[in-house]
Structure 1
Amino acid sequence: MPEMYFLVRWPDGADQRCYSPSTVVEDFFVPGGTYPLADFLDRSRQALAIASERVRAKYGFGCTSAAEQLAEIEAAAAAYPPDATVTVTALTDADGVPR
């Protein structure tokens, strides 16, 4: 499967490299896009669920890395107020090449 990364800048300026086992994240995020925290979480949940299901369709089991990534995102998001915004600074392939 063509794995991807989406690079996230949290409200405090911290950067996080987030994994997806599928290019589906391109349907949910754009490089430079800024999202209200709740919207970012919703998009992350949807994108990573679809990505995991694509792995299930191909290999017969869901992607535990996608589930772990979502748990990391949700844990990080809990540190910020509900009115915070999150920026997706880039989408890259596994080698770090921008998409």
Structure 2
Amino acid sequence: MRLLTPEDFEPWVGRQVRINTLPRPVEVLLARIERMPRLPGLDIRDRFSLMFEAPLNVMLMDAAYEFDCGRGGPYQIHINQLIPTPQARRYQAIFT
């Protein structure tokens, strides 16, 4: 299996991506990609996170979902909830 890179997701920044959830899919915005510095001698890949935003009525649990975004997807991506803003729910996926 090929390791995902930030470049796989760059075309999707600022766009809606579909998450296969039950009872029906939802869409969230891929708001940005945050790159993290490599740890010398420890990392075998570029570390990065994907930051997603969703309407307040889209509530996702911390779990792995099938995301239809990026090159060669769909991908199983684990997301975590972040503190929401008054306008949106926020989620992140971390790749280390």
**Does the TM-score normalized on the shorter chain lie above 0.5?**
no
| Structure of greater Rg | 2
Q: Which has the higher contact order (CA 8 A, sep 6+)?
A: 1
Tell me which protein shows more strand as a share of its residues.
2
Tell me which protein shows more helix as a share of its residues.
1
TM-score (norm 1): 0.29
